[in-house]
Amino acid sequence: MEDKKCFEDVLNEIESIVQKLSSDDIKLEESVSLYKKGRELLKEAKDILLKNEEIITEVMNENIKK
């Protein structure tokens, strides 16, 4: 089973990729690879946010019903 990363870990990885892509010393192949990884991480971050939004909405709705 794969360990799920927390939002902050994913965000830190994205920031690291952005810094590397901003470098003048990066080769085209590496930049394409980093770009692909960054897109995957952005999707992962979005999924984490959506999941937590659902949880918060659920809790709020439960509290309203009480």
- Per-residue confidence (pLDDT) for residue 55, from 0 to 100: 94
Query: CA nearest 7: which of 64, 62, 49, 51?
Result: 49
Q: What are phi and psi of 19, to 5 degrees?
A: -60, -45
Cα–Cα–Cα angle for 7, 26, 12, rounded to 5 degrees:
10
Residue 40, both tokens = 């995957």
- Checking if the pLDDT of 53 tops 60, the result is yes
Two structure tokens written together for 38: 């960054």
Give this prediction's pTM: 0.81
The pLDDT score that the predictor gives to residue 1 is 42
CA nearest to 7, candidates 36, 34, 47, 39: 47
